[in-house]
Amino acid sequence: MPEFRNTFSGNPLDREAARRRDEEWVGSQIHQSGTQFLPLRNLTFPMRHTDGAMRLAWAELPVGADTDRHPPLLLGTNDEVARFAINEAAAPNKFQLPGDATFMDLRAAAPVLDADDAGIAAQARAFLDWHERHRFCAVCGAPTEAAQGGIFRKCTTCPAEHFPRTDPVVITVVIDTEQDRCLLGRQASWPAGMFSALAGFIDHGESIEDAVRREVAEESGIDAVNVRYHSSQPWPFPSSLMIGCHADAGTSDINYDEWEMDDVRWFTREEIRHSLEQPAAQLGEPGLPDGALSLPGPMAIAHTLITAWADGSA
């Protein structure tokens, strides 16, 4: 694994692209002794404290589980042990989890979850959520069924096959190098004082660079030039890929879209560094002093992008 990893990155599982094509092999793994299942309850995860870290709690498949209505979804293998995600409704309250396991929301648990497990959880959440939402064919309306361990769904009536989508999002910190400041914006629904990088979905037929320029112009009125990629982050709420970039400012006068944004401002490096040194402020907690700047916490790629500029590595 690379030394640098955004939260939810670096999933250690082998997704078995080739072997999952063999439906018999997938079926044999479901009933193989030692195969591990991750039961999700309304998209929350069983977790437990192990060796000082929060870890996912795996279980075996209970006898009589309804795998027709809730098919196990093959996440991959680790040391030749197959790992599946499954809706806990397949066998409510019957999965034999460790006694100290409790179901937790992934967004809340991610900051303290083991990094490898966070990557697996991101895959499982997005995977299961997509299958629960796509039970019927978008072509003919007939029921669909999971195929090849859930890597796609096929229609039970027509030849259509449906594959999970990942929605690409650009998120950008724009830099004014002449005045040593960066551009951040906020939405009205965010906690007081919270600002973050500008972001938006990539349109059809649009490159990453074009999407950055368009989103920055729409949300701030600033021309973004010299767009450069930094890193990416899976964001399974429900199925986005955050594509983190830095860009230089070609203009300096802000004219933001009041329908999309509550405020857009330039912040000096000193202001950003000061905020990053205030851990409580990063969480957007209430009670901040008037005018205090609050930034996204370390779980978000926005934090990574802002920090990279603040420490001079952008």
Q: What are phi and psi of 276, to 5 degrees?
A: -65, -25
| DSSP one-letter code for 111 | G
Q: What parts of the chain have a pLDDT lower than 50?
A: 1-2, 280-288
Spans of all domains in the chain: 19-133, 167-310
Residue with tokens 């991610």: 110
Tokens, residue 109: 């648990």
148: CB partners within 8 A, 6+ apart: 20, 21, 23, 26, 74
pLDDT for the residue 51: 84
pLDDT for the residue 3: 61
Helices (H) and strands (E) in the chain, counts: 7, 15
pLDDT in tens, 236-256: 999 999 999 999 999 999 999
pLDDT for the residue 287: 42
Proportion of the chain in helix, strand, coil states, percent, rounded to 5: 25, 30, 45
pLDDT in tens, 255-296: 998 999 999 999 999 999 999 987 544 444 444 455 689 999
Q: Is there a shared CATH topology between the 19-133 domain and the 167-310 domain? A: yes
Please state, as a whole number, how many other Cβ atoms lie within 10 Å of the Cβ of residue 234: 23
Tokens, residue 163: 């594959």
Q: Which CATH number fits domain 167-310: 3.90.1330.10, 3.30.1660.40, 3.40.50.300, 3.90.79.10?
A: 3.90.79.10
Does 3.90.79 match the CATH number of domain 19-133?
Answer: yes
pLDDT for the residue 15: 97
The CA distance from 272 to 296, in Å, is: 12
The CA distance from 238 to 183, in Å, is: 27
The CA distance from 217 to 257, in Å, is: 9
pLDDT for the residue 279: 58
Q: Is the distance from CB of 25 to CB of 35 less than 8 angstroms? A: no
